Amino acid sequence: MNFKKICVIGLGYIGLPTAATFAAQGIKVLGADINARVIDTLNKGEIHIHEPGLREAVSKAVEMGNFRAATKPEAADAFIIAVPTPFQENKFGEYNGVKYKLADMRAVTSAAEAILPFLQKGNLVILESTSPPRTTIDLVKPILEKSGLKAGEDFYLCYSPERVLPGQILRELVENARVIGGVTPESAKAGKALYSIFVKGEIIETDATTAEMVKLMENTYRDVNIAIANEFSRLADKFGVDVWEAISIANLHPRVKILTPGPGVGGHCISVDPWFFVEAAPELTPLIYHSRQVNDAQPQFVAELIKRALDSLAGKKIAALGLAYKPDVDDMRESPANEVVRLLQNAGAIVTAYEPFKPDTVSLNDALQDADAIVLLVKHTEFVNFNPAEIAKKTKTRIVIDTVNAWNNEAWKNAGFEVLRLGANKEGRG
């Protein structure tokens, strides 16, 4: 196929890097997004999200005339849907008395409907948004076929999930393996032809529902494994064991690889995708459901740890370091750090949060100045590199709570701090 123009719908953490990567190969790309402020920003060659290298890529694409943004799609050879699929607010499914979260697919529906006026024979449509199984066939396909064209016959339709790490997106888009799930084998081949423009990793062809399940399996596997690590941190706290030491020893076993615990699981993938399996088949997913329950409850465990360090939370001033869902990114979607802050505030604490990737938060000095405790919630490189002696000059408190195992205990103790770490309370609570 000859792709002269591509339309990418949704210009967030995946859509924008994808659009910029295609544009870098000389393809004309229209980016469509309903946020007019985002459109204005991008057309000036600037960006609205943080991702290393992205500003330069977008600026160059705009300057070369290969990328522009608009609030509506236009006719193109290929359409890529990369819109959010969050949870429905205040609405849950229920099975045998157990409630579970439901996917909000309105953005996918709207994007498919927006393509309808421009869909022509020979076009390719790809859904990238993470979705419950059978979304491509049961939701997107019927919408597009309202055009009178048949998917797999008159136009090609695929599902191809992103599989990239924030902070490494531009590199991993190119280097990682890519799965293309077509509603027909011919659709999968068309999808492969499109991504072959820039993908250097292996491109695997399969059917649409298998591709959807692959994406959910990848993140559910990680979620379940994080859940057991988080449970280990609670058990270690109860039995007076340093969970970090125990994990490092257990991982010496050649067939064991325990992940690291933390304040919870966040982001728009691992904390969301497992629920799509539960929604699609609640009767078959008790392990997935309970793993989600464990990880969603971890912020509460952290809040209790902080309360233990301070005896109480009411009126206590706490400096919270980090609000992003993972280190060295600005993405705060489903962030457990935010949930910890909310729980502390609900308990009466006065929380001042410093997030280095969000310039609109308070400064580090302001957060530390009058704090009764310092709580490390995200393993940003800036925080890892703190000099405890220098921090001691900026704050009156001598209590630090490290929830991500980023700091050297002895260095902080030598600077006069009392250190409490997640899953490393040697006194125990049992």
- So which residues are the catalytic ones? 215, 269
- Residues 405 and 347: beta-carbon distance below 8 Å: no
299 within 8 A of 234, measured Cβ to Cβ: no
Tell me the two tokens of residue 32.
Answer: 């469509």
Sheet containing 418-421: which strands, arranged edge to edge? 350-354, 317-321, 373-376, 399-402, 418-421
Distance CA 384, CA 405 (A): 9
- The closest alpha carbon to 130, from 165, 92, 103, belongs to 103
Phi, psi of 155 (to 5 degrees): -140, 160
Strand 87-95 and strand 98-103: the pairing is antiparallel
DSSP character string of 158-220: EE------TTSHHHHHHHS-EEEEESSHHHHHHHHHHHTTT--S-EEEEEHHHHHHHHHHHHH
**Edge-to-edge strand list for the sheet holding 78-81:** 67-70, 28-32, 5-9, 78-81, 124-127, 156-159, 178-182, 203-207
Where do the H-state alpha helices sit in 311-377?
Answer: 336-346, 364-369
User: How many CB atoms are closer than 10 A to CB 202?
Assistant: 9
Cα–Cα distance for residue pair 35/173, rounded to 1 Å: 24
The DSSP result for 291-318, as a single string, is HHHHHHHHHHHHHHHHHHHHS--TT-EE
Inter-axis angle of helices 208-239 and 286-310, to 10 degrees? 40
Residues shown for the chain: 430
90, containing H or E segment: strand 87-95
